[in-house]
Amino acid sequence: MEKKNTWETYDAKHLKKLEKLCQEYREFLNQGKTERECIDTIVNTVEEAGYRELDSVIKSGESLKTGDKIYRVWMNKSIVMFQIGEKSLTEGMNILGAHIDSPRLDVKQNPLYEDGGFAYLDTHYYGGVKKYQWVTIPLAIHGVVVKKDGTTVEINIGENEDDPVFFVSDLLIHLAQEQLEKKAAKVIEGEALDIIIGNKPLVMEGKKSDKVTKKDQEEEKNAGKDAVKAGILKILKDNYDMEEEDFLSAELEVVPAGKAREAGFDRSMILAYGQDDRVCAFTSLKAMLDTPVTQRTTCCILVDKEEIGSVGATGMQSHFFEDAVAEVMNLLGEYSELNVRRCLSHCCMLSSDVSSAYDPAYGASFDKKNVAYLGGGMVFNKFTGSRGKSGSNDANAEYIAHLRHIFEEKKINFQTAELGKVDLGGGGTIAYILALYGMNVIDSGVAVLNMHAPWEATSKADIYETYRGYKAFAEGASLS
Distance, in Å, from the CA atom of 231 to the CA atom of 220, rounded to the nearest integer, reads 9
Please, which residues bridge with residue 450 across strands?
none
Considering 198, 230, 256, which residue would you say is the last residue of a domain?
Answer: 256
Q: Is residue 263 part of a domain?
A: no
pLDDT at residue 441, as a whole number: 94
Helix axes 460-476, 397-409, angle to 10 degrees: 110
Q: Is residue 156 part of a domain?
A: yes
pLDDT at residue 422, as a whole number: 72
Whether pLDDT at 204 is above 60: no
Whether pLDDT at 344 is above 60: yes
pLDDT at residue 382, as a whole number: 85
Is residue 149 domain-shared with residue 221, that is, in the same domain? yes
pLDDT at residue 393, as a whole number: 80
Q: What is the pTM of this model?
A: 0.93
pLDDT at residue 215, as a whole number: 65
Distance, in Å, from the CA atom of 99 to the CA atom of 102, rounded to the nearest integer, reads 8
Whether pLDDT at 391 is above 90: no
* Average confidence (pLDDT) over 416-420: 83
pLDDT at residue 455, as a whole number: 98
pLDDT at residue 477, as a whole number: 81
The rounded percent of the chain whose pLDDT value lies above 90 is 84
* Average confidence (pLDDT) over 461-468: 97
Model confidence at 424, pLDDT cuts 50, 70, 90, reads low
Domain count, the chain: 2
Give the domain range for residue 417.
6-102+273-476
Considering 224, 256, 288, which residue would you say is the last residue of a domain?
Answer: 256
pLDDT at residue 225, as a whole number: 78
pLDDT at residue 395, as a whole number: 85
Is residue 130 domain-shared with residue 150, that is, in the same domain? yes
Is residue 283 domain-shared with residue 219, that is, in the same domain? no
Whether pLDDT at 209 is above 60: no
Whether pLDDT at 206 is above 60: no
Q: Is residue 151 part of a domain?
A: yes
Say if CB 228 and CB 112 are below 8 A apart: no
Is residue 34 domain-shared with residue 135, that is, in the same domain? no
Q: Is residue 264 part of a domain?
A: no
Considering 225, 256, 287, which residue would you say is the last residue of a domain?
Answer: 256
Q: Is residue 267 part of a domain?
A: no
Distance, in Å, from the CA atom of 184 to the CA atom of 444, rounded to the nearest integer, reads 31
Whether pLDDT at 207 is above 60: no
Query: What HEC string does the chain produce?
Result: CCCCCHHHHCCHHHHHHHHHHHHHHHHHHHHCCCHHHHHHHHHHHHHHCCCEEHHHHHHHCCCCCCCCEEEEEECCCEEEEEECCCCCHHHCEEEEEEECCCCEEEEEEEEEEEECCEEEEEEEEECCCCHHHHCCCCEEEEEEEECCCCCEEEEEECCCCCCCCEECCCCCHHHCCCHHHCCHHHHCCHHHCCEEEECCCCCCCCCCHHHCCHHHHHHHHHHHHHHHHHHHHHHHHHHHCCCHHHHHHEEEEEEECCCCEEECCCCCEEEECCHHHHHHHHHHHHHHHHCCCCCCEEEEEEECCHHHCCCCCCCCCCCHHHHHHHHHHHHCCCCCHHHHHHHHHCCEEEEECCEEECCHHHHHHCCHHHCECCCCCEEEECECEECCCECCCECCHHHHHHHHHHHHHCCCCEEECCCCCHHHCEECCCHHHHHCCCCEEEEEECEEECCCCCCEEEEHHHHHHHHHHHHHHHHHCCCC
Is residue 310 domain-shared with residue 458, that is, in the same domain? yes
Is residue 97 domain-shared with residue 156, that is, in the same domain? no
CATH, residue 33: 3.40.630.10
CATH, residue 151: 2.30.250.10
Least confident of 245-249, 327-331, 473-477: 473-477
Is residue 94 domain-shared with residue 22, that is, in the same domain? yes
Is residue 293 domain-shared with residue 375, that is, in the same domain? yes
Q: Is residue 268 part of a domain?
A: no
* Average confidence (pLDDT) over 373-377: 95
pLDDT, tens digit (0-9, with 9 covering 90-100), for 46-94: 999 999 999 999 999 999 999 999 999 999 999 999 999 999 999 999 9
265 burial via Cβ count (<10 Å: 0-12, 13-18, 19+): exposed
pLDDT at residue 479, as a whole number: 73
Whether pLDDT at 220 is above 60: no
Is residue 189 domain-shared with residue 335, that is, in the same domain? no
Is residue 86 domain-shared with residue 116, that is, in the same domain? no
Whether pLDDT at 205 is above 90: no
Is residue 185 domain-shared with residue 127, that is, in the same domain? yes
Q: Is residue 1 part of a domain?
A: no
Nearest of 168, 200, 202 to residue 187 by alpha carbon: 168
pLDDT at residue 480, as a whole number: 61
* Average confidence (pLDDT) over 288-304: 97
Q: Is residue 329 part of a domain?
A: yes
Whether pLDDT at 216 is above 90: no
Average pLDDT, the chain: 92
Is residue 332 domain-shared with residue 423, that is, in the same domain? yes
